[in-house]
Amino acid sequence: MYKILIIEDDSALAAAMKKHIESWNYDVCRVRNFENIIPEFTAYDPHLVLLDIMLPFFNGYHWCAELRKISRVPIVFISSVSDNMNIVMAMNMGGDDFIAKPVEPNVMIAKIQAILRRTYDMAGKIPVLEHKGAVLNLNDTTLLYQDQRIELTKNEFRILQTLLENKGKVVSRDTLMTKLWQMDCYVEENTLTVNVARLRKKLEGAGLCDFIKTRVGSGYIVEL
């Protein structure tokens, strides 16, 4: 049975959401301590989180960032502030979807089911690497982000694949050049610099700014 964690300080709304979700045979838990939700999150170990933006002590963006440090669990933001800026910020912070208040129960269930199906039922069928909403398809060497399909050259793909496989770690220039050498007889050091610059430009054009960061004297990193 899938487990859903509700992080919503409006007790009436949280109770109504819990009751409706449970009627679809999901296990549901509500957070009680909004000053520090991490212990309840780790103890419950949910398959999906419903996260309100306006919370006491710290807002939903803060808690999304904290959860992303320890988990890749799908996070669906909930807010009465559903303008484009908040939706974009929610996605950029690591959210997987957005539900506007007042919450329409059937829409909520449809989104929960779609995300659970995508995340768990289809897991392993399509080899991908995912980070901050960007999905690198290892079959066709394309990157998907917010309904955009970004075409990558073979070198750009190998660079991004290597960085995503080592998220949170600095990857040396030598390591990346070795990756490029796998299909080419010889790669000049300048070739790596040019390819990283082109890859960054494509990512920034799609809205993924500062996705790849430089560590001077060490290499490159995709930060967690």
Last residue of a domain, one of 62, 88, 121: 121
Six token digits for residue 135: 């999905």
What is the per-residue pLDDT across 167-178, written as a single tens digit (0 to 9) for each?
A: 999 999 988 988
Query: Is residue 185 predicted with pLDDT exceeding 50?
Result: no
Q: Could you give the number of structural domains in the chain?
A: 2
Same domain, 106 and 132: no
**Which pTM does this prediction carry?**
0.54
What's the pLDDT tens digit per position in 129-161?
A: 888 888 888 877 788 888 788 989 988 999 999
Assess whether pLDDT exceeds 80 at residue 211.
yes
CATH value at residue 55? 3.40.50.2300
32 and 68 belong to one structural domain: yes
104 or 93: which leads in pLDDT: 104
Write 71-75 long-range contacts (CB < 8 A, 24+).
71/41, 72/130, 73/46, 73/47, 73/48, 73/49, 74/47, 74/48, 74/49, 74/115, 74/116, 74/119, 75/48, 75/49, 75/51
pLDDT one-digit tens code per residue, 2-56: 899 999 999 999 999 999 999 998 999 999 999 999 999 989 889 999 999 889 9
Residue 148 and residue 205 in one domain: yes
DSSP 95-106: -SEEEESSP-HH
Last residue within a domain, chosen from 93, 121, 149? 121
pLDDT at 145: 86
Rounded to an integer, the average pLDDT of 172-191 is 74
Return the pLDDT at 137.
Answer: 83
Same domain, 113 and 153: no
Q: Residue 12: its pLDDT value, please?
A: 94
We report the CATH number of the domain holding residue 155 as 1.10.10.10
Domain that holds residue 65: 3-121
pLDDT in tens, 109-127: 998 998 888 887 654 545 6
